[in-house]
C-alpha cells in the first residue's frame, strides 16, 4: 500500500525537478535585477546601504517617471486596440468567408514576419511624417501594431476556425447578420485567442525601443525603454547600473502582473491553436 502510494510521486519527481530548475533559471535575472537596484554601488544615488535611491533617480530622470510611464501606457493601449480590431476582423474573414485570392492574401500577410523589423523603420518614418504622425504616440502605436498584425491575424483565424459552424448557422437562422454573429456569438467564444493576441501586442509595445527612438523627437513623449537607455549614460560615459536596473524592474512589473492575471486565457489560446493544427 505504501509503495503503491509513493510510485506516482516518484514518477513525477523528474518533472518537478525540471520545472523547478527552469523556474530558477528564468527568475534569477529578475531577482538579480531587483537586488542590484537596491544594493549600494559607488557613484550612484545608492552609494551606502540598501535603499531606494536608484528608484528616486529613475523617478526624477528626464520628463519624470509618471509622464514616461503614461507615454508607454498610451502606446501600449493604442497598439492593443488597433491589433485586436484589425486582427479580429481579418481573422474572421479568413476563417469564415470565401473570396478570390484568400489564401494568397493570407500568405502575403504572414510574409511580413520574414521582413526584418529595422529595414522598414525608415520607410515607415517617411510615410508617417507625410501624414503628420512622425512625432506622435499614435504613429508609434500604428507602426508597432503593423508588425503585430500577421501573428495576430493568424491566431484569430485558427481561433475562429475552431468554433463549430453550427453555432454561427443557428444565430443566422435567428436573424443575426454577419456582424451580429461576430459580436454576440464568435467573440465570446474566442476570448482566449483575444487575450493571447492582446497580451503579445502589449508586451511588444511596452518593450519596443526602435520605433519610439526613430519616430519621437520630443523628450516629453519618450516611453520607458528609451528613457532607461538614456538613463544608463552618466558623466564621461560611465554606466549607472543601479538606476538602469531600477528601470528594468519598473518595466518588468506590468508585464509580470498582466501575464500572471491572464495566464489561464493565454494557455487556452495556444492550446486551441495547437488542437486545431
Per-residue pLDDT reduced to its tens digit, 154-185: 988 888 888 887 777 777 777 777 777 777 77
Do 21 and 113 reside in the same domain of the chain?
no
Let me know if residue 45 belongs to a domain.
no
Average pLDDT over residues 130-153: 89
Query: In Å, how far from its chain's centre is CA 47?
Result: 35
Let me know if residue 46 belongs to a domain.
no
- How many CA atoms does the CB half-sphere of 72 hold within 13 Å? 25
- Residue holding cell 511588444? 204
Q: Helices (H) and strands (E) in the chain — how many of each? A: 15, 0
CA 142, CA 125: separation in Å to the nearest integer? 11
pTM: 0.84
Do 34 and 66 reside in the same domain of the chain?
no
Q: List Cβ neighbours of 154 (8 Å cut-off, separation of 6 or more).
A: 91, 110
Do 33 and 58 reside in the same domain of the chain?
no
Do 241 and 128 reside in the same domain of the chain?
yes
SS3 222: coil
Structural domain total, the chain? 2
Do 69 and 21 reside in the same domain of the chain?
no
Do 25 and 62 reside in the same domain of the chain?
no
Do 106 and 208 reside in the same domain of the chain?
yes
pLDDT reading at 275 higher than 50: no
SS3 233: strand
Q: Are 33 and 249 in contact (CB under 8 A)?
A: yes
Sequence-separated contacts (24+) of 122-128 with Cβ below 8 Å: 122/214, 125/214, 125/215, 128/215
CATH of the domain at 92: 1.10.3720.10
SS3 239: strand
Let me know if residue 48 belongs to a domain.
no
Do 139 and 267 reside in the same domain of the chain?
yes
Which helix or strand (DSSP H or E) is residue 92 part of? helix 65-96
Let me know if residue 196 belongs to a domain.
yes
Average pLDDT over residues 222-228: 90
Tell me the residue range of the domain where 144 lies: 53-276
Burial of residue 262 (CB within 10 Å: 0-12, 13-18, 19+) is middle
Do 10 and 69 reside in the same domain of the chain?
no
Q: List Cβ neighbours of 127 (8 Å cut-off, separation of 6 or more).
A: none
Do 13 and 143 reside in the same domain of the chain?
no
Do 13 and 64 reside in the same domain of the chain?
no
**Each residue of 5-44: pLDDT tens digit?**
544 555 677 778 888 888 888 888 888 888 888 887 776 7
Smallest Cα–Cα separation from 110: which of 93, 131, 87, 128?
87
Do 102 and 168 reside in the same domain of the chain?
yes
- How many CA atoms does the CB half-sphere of 59 hold within 13 Å? 6
Let me know if residue 149 belongs to a domain.
yes
Query: In Å, how far from its chain's centre is CA 240?
Result: 27
Amino acid at each position: 500500500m505504501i509503495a503503491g502510494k509513493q510510485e506516482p510521486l516518484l514518477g513525477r519527481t523528474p518533472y518537478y525537478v525540471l520545472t523547478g530548475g527552469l523556474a530558477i533559471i528564468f527568475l534569477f535575472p529578475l531577482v538579480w535585477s531587483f537586488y542590484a537596484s537596491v544594493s549600494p554601488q559607488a557613484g550612484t544615488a545608492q552609494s551606502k546601504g540598501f535603499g531606494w535611491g536608484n528608484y528616486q533617480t529613475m523617478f526624477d530622470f528626464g520628463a519624470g517617471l509618471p509622464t514616461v510611464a503614461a507615454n508607454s501606457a498610451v502606446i501600449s493601449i493604442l497598439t492593443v486596440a488597433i491589433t485586436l480590431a484589425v486582427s479580429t476582423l481579418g481573422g474572421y474573414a479568413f476563417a469564415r468567408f470565401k473570396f478570390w485570392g484568400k489564401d494568397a492574401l493570407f500568405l502575403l500577410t504572414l510574409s511580413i514576419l520574414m521582413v526584418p523589423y529595422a529595414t522598414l523603420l525608415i520607410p515607415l518614418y517617411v510615410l508617417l511624417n507625410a501624414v503628420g504622425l512622425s512625432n506622435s504616440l499614435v504613429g508609434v502605436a500604428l507602426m508597432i501594431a503593423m508588425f503585430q498584425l500577421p501573428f495576430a491575424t493568424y491566431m484569430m483565424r485558427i481561433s475562429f476556425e475552431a468554433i463549430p459552424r453550427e453555432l454561427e448557422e443557428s444565430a443566422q437562422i435567428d436573424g443575426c447578420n454577419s456582424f451580429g454573429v461576430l459580436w454576440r456569438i464568435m467573440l465570446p467564444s474566442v476570448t482566449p485567442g483575444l487575450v493571447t493576441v492582446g497580451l503579445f501586442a502589449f508586451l511588444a509595445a511596452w518593450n519596443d525601443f526602435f520605433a519610439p527612438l526613430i519616430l519621437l523627437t520630443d523628450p516629453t513623449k519618450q516611453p520607458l525603454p528609451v528613457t532607461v537607455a538614456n538613463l544608463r549614460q552618466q558623466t564621461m560615459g560611465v554606466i549607472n547600473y543601479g538606476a538602469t536596473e531600477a528601470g528594468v524592474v519598473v518595466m518588468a512589473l506590468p508585464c509580470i502582473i498582466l501575464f500572471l492575471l491572464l495566464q489561464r486565457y493565454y494557455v487556452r489560446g495556444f492550446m486551441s491553436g495547437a488542437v486545431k493544427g
